[in-house]
Amino acid sequence: MLTQNIITKYTVPVPRYTSYPTVPFWDESTFNKSLWLQKVKQSFDISNHKDGISVYIHLPYCESLCTYCACNKRITKNHGVEEPYLQAVIKEWKLYKAVFSAQPQLKEIHLGGGTPTFFSPENLALLIKGILEDCLIHDDAEFSFEAHPANTTLAHLEVLYALGFKRLSLGIQDFDEQVQIMINRIQSVEEVDIVSKQARAIGYTSINFDLIYGLPLQTVNSLTATVEKVIGLKPDRIAFYSYAHVPWVKSGQRKFTEADLPDTHLRQELYEKGREMLLAAGYLDIGMDHFAFAYDSLNVAAQSKKLHRNFMGYTHQYTRLLVGLGVSSISDTWDAFAQNVKSEEEYLDLINAGELPVVKGHVLNDEDLLIRRHILNIMCKGVTTWTDEDLQNDAFRENLSGLPELVEDGLIIQEPQSLKVTKTGKRFLRNVCAVFDARLQATKPEKQLFSIG
């Protein structure tokens, strides 16, 4: 049963587990670019023919600062930055293609940011054509992009659709005027409605809305009004995130203080109200703040136990190899991670010198791979099982000692060699995974590394 004591107990800073190990616990001493390229080649050889590969492209520019945002971005109104940056991304992709042993088969492309629709339709076409050159497209490929409703034009939608994009994610966050002013994210219901209708008329098959609860000045009444408007627009899926307040990381969040934010009790009220309304409107709870209609591919994957989670979040597409292009992007070969430099100047200098812009990474050891498998199972399937061989891993066996408390609190049901997340536990997937996080449990960091919610 979900009680206020349980809510308070588990409303603590823990990772969102888009990877394991999480970035703060990467061991950079075992990583170098040469080893990274070996891992890329090995992963490509394993996955390309069967599963294809995924590509994430980070487009960091925004014309104005959304003060809630913790993403890596550059604020500018100078659109002269577009073409040099995109040409650099294409050059980075060519550096990776030189490592591949065959034509890459693309199963997934996602444009994130920043604001991808900061870029002109013509320049986005230049980018995607450069990425697709000499590549094959997987039969089950899905291309998607994030967009700001206030600057997404019909031309953006048409150009990207013609290049294979069928999924659109609109950053809404909140429709309340006072909240929008506070977070400097201004768009009207009418603008969102126009973009959504245009996308559907063109042929986009899935539209996602991002919403955030826990924002400054939010109330139950204001959130209710926002969710009512969202339901009326009928997006296919909704990401209903908790606001991550990390002003020590992103100074823009200092426009407001903790006094402007809903307290723990109100945050939970906001979530419960939003969730209740979405479920009543026919959306299904996928987990980790994601909701979708039954027909949407995210729900289909969840029901068939094929849901996957990576640095782009939940996806119905599994690929062993994810190549991240652009500043701050993270790549994943399954047994290693690498992250690019975070400044555009350094990124452009490295690319133009013919160097891969990777700045740090981590090579997973056997313990990491075992724990990664279990965390993915919990996050994506709500169940995991272990064998006697798993128990030979000291860290894994030790972490199992944390399960009885989760059982007592009603978050999981435990069997001798398995666990299943309960309906209550589904609200606290991050906390269940944290029990298995050997690196987190071993260090117990003194400073806060992760957001609450």
pLDDT in tens, 46-72: 999 889 999 999 999 999 988 888 888
pLDDT per residue as tens digits for the range 173-228: 999 999 999 999 999 999 999 999 999 999 999 999 999 999 999 999 999 999 99
Q: Which residues contact 249 (CB under 8 A, 6 or more apart)?
A: 70
- Could you tell me the sign of the dihedral formed by the alpha carbons of 393, 396, 398, 401, in that order? negative
β partners of residue 308: 315
272 annotated ligand binder: no
pLDDT at 445 over 70: no
214: helix, strand or coil: coil
Residue 384 Cα distances to 16, 135, 141, 318, 375, angstroms: 18, 36, 28, 18, 8
pLDDT of amino acid 247: 66
Q: What is the DSSP string of 114-161?
A: S-GGGS-HHHHHHHHHHHHTT-EEEEEEEEEEEE-TTT--HHHHHHHH
pLDDT at 252 over 80: no
Q: How confident is the model at residue 446 (pLDDT cuts 50, 70, 90)?
A: low
395 annotated ligand binder: no
Q: What average pLDDT score do residues 102-110 get?
A: 97
pLDDT at 412 over 90: yes
Which tokens go with 94? 């060519």
pLDDT at 273 over 80: yes
Helix axes 366-381, 429-436, angle to 10 degrees: 160
Between 16-25, 104-113, 154-163, 277-286, the lowest mean confidence (pLDDT) is in: 16-25
pLDDT of amino acid 259: 80
Residue found by looking up tokens 């609190």 in the block: 409
244 annotated ligand binder: yes
Q: What is the spatial distance between Cα 114 and Cα 116, in angstroms, rounded to a whole number?
A: 6
380 annotated ligand binder: no
pLDDT at 441 over 90: no
pLDDT at 334 over 90: yes
pLDDT of amino acid 312: 82
Which tokens go with 413? 């049901």
Query: Which amino acid, 260?
Result: D
Which tokens go with 325? 């292009």
Backbone angles phi, psi at 389, to 5 degrees: -65, -40
pLDDT of amino acid 317: 86
Nearest to 15 by CA among 443, 440, 445, 447: 440
Q: What whole-number percentage of the chain has pLDDT above 70?
A: 95
pLDDT at 448 over 80: no
Q: What is the spatial distance between Cα 144 and Cα 199, in angstroms, rounded to a whole number?
A: 12
Q: How confident is the model at residue 443 (pLDDT cuts 50, 70, 90)?
A: confident
277 close to 240: Cβ distance less than 8 angstroms: no
Nearest to 169 by CA among 154, 190, 139, 149: 149
Q: What is the spatial distance between Cα 8 and Cα 267, in angstroms, rounded to a whole number?
A: 11
Spell out the alpha helix ranges (H) of 32-81. 33-47
185 annotated ligand binder: yes
| Spacing of C-alpha 120 from chain mean position | 24
pLDDT of amino acid 248: 58
112 close to 146: Cβ distance less than 8 angstroms: yes
69 annotated ligand binder: yes
Q: What average pLDDT score do residues 233-246 get?
A: 90
Query: Which amino acid, 445?
Result: P
249 close to 70: Cβ distance less than 8 angstroms: yes
pLDDT of amino acid 3: 84
Tell me which CATH code domain 365-453 carries: 1.10.10.920
66 annotated ligand binder: yes
pLDDT at 451 over 60: no
DSSP secondary structure letter of residue 243: P
Domain boundaries, given as residue ranges, for the chain = 26-325, 365-453
Which of 161-165, 249-253, 386-390, 397-401 ranks highest by mean pLDDT? 161-165
Whether a cis peptide bond, with omega within 30° of 0, leads into 114 is: yes
Residue 138 Cα distances to 36, 312, 378, angstroms: 25, 19, 28
pLDDT of amino acid 311: 86
pLDDT of amino acid 442: 84
pLDDT per residue as tens digits for the range 24-44: 999 999 899 999 999 999 999
pLDDT at 331 over 80: yes
302 annotated ligand binder: no
242 close to 268: Cβ distance less than 8 angstroms: no
Task: Give the count of beta carbons closer than 10 Å to the beta carbon of residue 416.
Answer: 5
Residue found by looking up tokens 């603008």 in the block: 191
115 annotated ligand binder: yes
pLDDT of amino acid 265: 85
Domains 26-325 and 365-453 share a fold: no
pLDDT at 449 over 80: no
Query: Which amino acid, 346?
Result: E
Per-chain mean pLDDT for the chain: 93
pLDDT at 268 over 90: no
pLDDT at 143 over 70: yes
Residue found by looking up tokens 């066996």 in the block: 397
Q: Could you give the angle at the alpha carbon of 201 between the alpha carbons of 200 and 205, nearest 5°?
A: 35
313 annotated ligand binder: no
Q: How confident is the model at residue 288 (pLDDT cuts 50, 70, 90)?
A: confident
pLDDT of amino acid 109: 97
pLDDT of amino acid 260: 84
Count the alpha carbons within 13 Å of 316 in the hemisphere toward its beta carbon. Answer: 21
pLDDT of amino acid 23: 93
Q: How confident is the model at residue 453 (pLDDT cuts 50, 70, 90)?
A: low
Nearest to 85 by CA among 332, 435, 327: 327
146 annotated ligand binder: yes
DSSP secondary structure letter of residue 269: H
Which tokens go with 303? 């029901």
Class of domain 26-325: alpha beta
Backbone angles phi, psi at 167, to 5 degrees: -125, 135
Q: What whole-number percentage of the chain has pLDDT above 90?
A: 79
Nearest to 437 by CA among 381, 382, 398: 398
pLDDT of amino acid 4: 82
pLDDT per residue as tens digits for the range 79-94: 999 999 999 999 999 9
Residue found by looking up tokens 């100074």 in the block: 251
Q: What is the spatial distance between Cα 313 and Cα 308, in angstroms, rounded to a whole number?
A: 8
236 annotated ligand binder: no
